[in-house]
Structure 1
């Protein structure tokens, strides 16, 4: 896939997604359903990617598909940490930092534990951040696209 074919996300296009995953409840069964939706999308699209759902600090769903590399686990953790810390999709964090000319380190976040790359989306219950869905393995805009598409399908069910 060439860079020209990659989806483009701006702050303005990402901000409405903040309201998407505000749910009445979200438990381990929901995590399994959401993770399975994402895994099927990854498989169907032939992407080399992993998906992980974390509730609190507990990994409750994880799948690695199509030969994704082992270092993806660290990317999943770092992106999820970013979405949890900032309370917004990690790609939106990246776009905001780019617009401001800043980095995560400028805000006191160690890049060994945080990553301003797309793919992690927070899940809220009654305005409390309870979980994240994170994908990694492809360019970060593709990672974000799959995570948000899976979330939209989950909400629509």
Structure 2
């Protein structure tokens, strides 16, 4: 990774992005780690650090977590997020792992079908977790939690794009 400037974002809690299922599917197809050859614990840590830098630069109160296999490789809580954010990170990540797609896409699909959002002890159908895909297989997730789910989603997408660009 280089010391390239982090991407700018017009996001605030009052200017929320909107995503369609097709846009999120396109992000999933675009943001794979095939081009980097492998994705190991060092890469997971670097991705988490990059996401945390973006959180700090934007002044957000967010928690970020990167999971690789069964291991939490990176975790940071920034800006005074609440203690229950840890549970949200785990449950959003479980959705992305179970469905092999961003948790926001699962939420948008539930909205479109009129299905209630699954929010229980194991799963939270809420945006903010994105699968880490290498050679067609989900090997982990990057997850953000603490703000509106579309902001959490945008943060992880921005971090992945920035990581892959470097």
Whether TM exceeds 0.5 here: the answer is yes
Q: 1:16 to 1:143 in 2, by over 3 A?
A: same
| Structure 1 stretches of 4+ moved >6 Å | none
Per-residue deviation, 1:112: 1.5
**Are 1:40 and 2:53 counterparts?**
yes
- Give the deviation of 1:2 after TM superposition: 5.5
Structure 2 match to 1:144: 153
CA change 1:2–1:61 in 2 (3 A) is closer
- 2:21 matched residue in structure 1: 11
Unaligned runs of 5+ in 2: 1-11
Q: What secondary structure does 2:74 align onto? A: strand
Q: Structure 1 residue 81: deviation in Å?
A: 0.1
Q: 1:57 maps to which residue? A: 70
- Secondary structure, aligned partner of 1:54: strand
CA contact (8 A) 2:63 2:77 kept: yes
5+ residue gaps, structure 1: none
Q: Does 1:126 align with 2:139?
A: no
